[in-house]
A and B are shown apart, each in its own frame.
Chain A
Amino acid sequence: AQKVTQAQTEISVVEKEDVTLDCVYETRDTTYYLFWYKQPPSGELVFLIRRNSFDEQNEISGRYSWNFQKSTSSFNFTITASQVVDSAVYFCALSERGNTPLVFGKGTRLSVIA
């Protein structure tokens, strides 16, 4: 069965600090997709990234970067030089074989303090 664990319930950082959000997943399949979504205080879910299990290359998008390590079943998300606008709940999610509905972790609430 598929499972996503986000052990960090809440994180608080001071603006400009770097912060890493952890995501550990469980799946029996060799083909799967991993996702990160952001939920700002307004409540909508914003898609950030999708990564398939065959692509272990790390990805960088501006201040955001993702570290995918199959050896530890982790897909961690780092925000560099955090800003107040990064304050949100972040969800990691998994789809087995790419054809099952997303299973979400419980989310990590990030607060960036000015």
Chain B
Amino acid sequence: NAGVTQTPKFQVLKTGQSMTLQCAQDMNHNSMYWYRQDPGMGLRLIYYSASEGTTDKGEVPNGYNVSRLNKREFSLRLESAAPSQTSVYFCASSESRQITVGNTIYFGEGSWLTVV
């Protein structure tokens, strides 16, 4: 049971380079999310997709773009990487945007990105 799969797990970029983080879930979830984790800051929401075909900005969207390619996949793109984007990125998914007793959010294993 793969759950939420993120690639790549580790990446080093030079300032100004672009890259895409890929995320796929096999739980038939409708909602997907991208968070970044920085030391002492907890996890902060970058973008989310409540359902296929929709995306919304989170707390820290600047410098990022997202694509909800289909129900399974939600990618995060850095068009021109900056050192401030050095972080650990987590993709997550949930059955729906509506949290209920039977619905929670599951996270991928994280992607470690360093921008030099």
Does B74 sit within 8 A of A, measured CB to CB? no
Do A47 and B106 touch (CB < 8 A)?
yes
Q: Give the Cβ gap from A96 to chain B, nearest Cβ, in Å.
A: 10
Nearest A-chain residue to B45, judged by Cβ: A101
Once A and B bind, how many residue pairs between them come within 8 Å at the CB atom? 54
Contact with A44, one of B35, B45, B58, B109 (Cβ below 8 angstroms): B109
- With A47-B104, A103-B45, A104-B35 already in contact, 14 other A-B pairs whose C-beta atoms are closer than 8 Å: A4-B42, A33-B99, A44-B109, A44-B110, A45-B110, A47-B106, A47-B107, A52-B101, A95-B99, A99-B99, A104-B43, A105-B42, A106-B42, A107-B42
Offer 16 A-B interface pairs, CB within 8 angstroms, sorted by A. A6-B42, A9-B40, A37-B107, A43-B110, A44-B107, A44-B108, A47-B104, A98-B99, A98-B100, A99-B99, A101-B33, A101-B45, A102-B43, A106-B40, A106-B41, A106-B42
